[in-house]
Amino acid sequence: MRLIDHLRVPYLLEAETVELPDGRWVRRVCYPELSGCVAEAAVVEDALSQLERKRIQMIVRMVRDGRAPTAPRPPLSDSDPIWIAKQVGIADEDISLIERDGAAGVPA
């Protein structure tokens, strides 16, 4: 599977509001099928943006290291990982890698 296909895999999303030890409340979101892919923020939209950034960074790093991320479901053909990566502030270097993979169709 190519990098862009790994980024198109839909993962289960869990979300909850939790109270921190200091009394503040945050929104915690995670992809439990991707170990360690968790984000917290006061505003749920911020937490989701952080989570997507972390998911993309984790998958890019895994593919670069020659490890295949878990793929519990097939990739979604209508997903646009490049647009998502740009929206959540992924580094230009990683966006270029995703674009090259998608355009060239070269296996990752």
For the chain, the domain total comes to: 1
Phi-psi category of 60—alpha, beta or left, where left has phi over 0 and alpha has psi -120 to 50?
A: alpha
Residue 7 has pLDDT above 90, yes or no: yes
Contact 70, 104 (CB under 8 A): no
pLDDT of 107 reads 44
Burial label for 44, CB within 10 Å (0-12, 13-18, 19+), is middle
Average pLDDT of the chain is 93
Average pLDDT over residues 77-84: 94
Q: Would you state the pLDDT for residue 13?
A: 98
Q: What is the pLDDT of residues 41-73, one digit of tens each?
A: 999 999 999 999 999 999 999 999 999 999 999
Q: At what angle do helices 92-104 and 44-64 cross, to 10 degrees?
A: 60
Query: Could you tell me the pLDDT band of residue 10, with boundaries at 50, 70 and 90?
Result: very high
- The CATH number covering residue 29 comes to 3.30.160.250
Who contacts 45 (Cβ-Cβ below 8 Å, separation ≥6)? none
Domain residues for the domain of 26 are 3-104
Question: According to the model, what pLDDT value does residue 62 have?
Answer: 95
pLDDT above 90 coverage of the chain, percent? 90
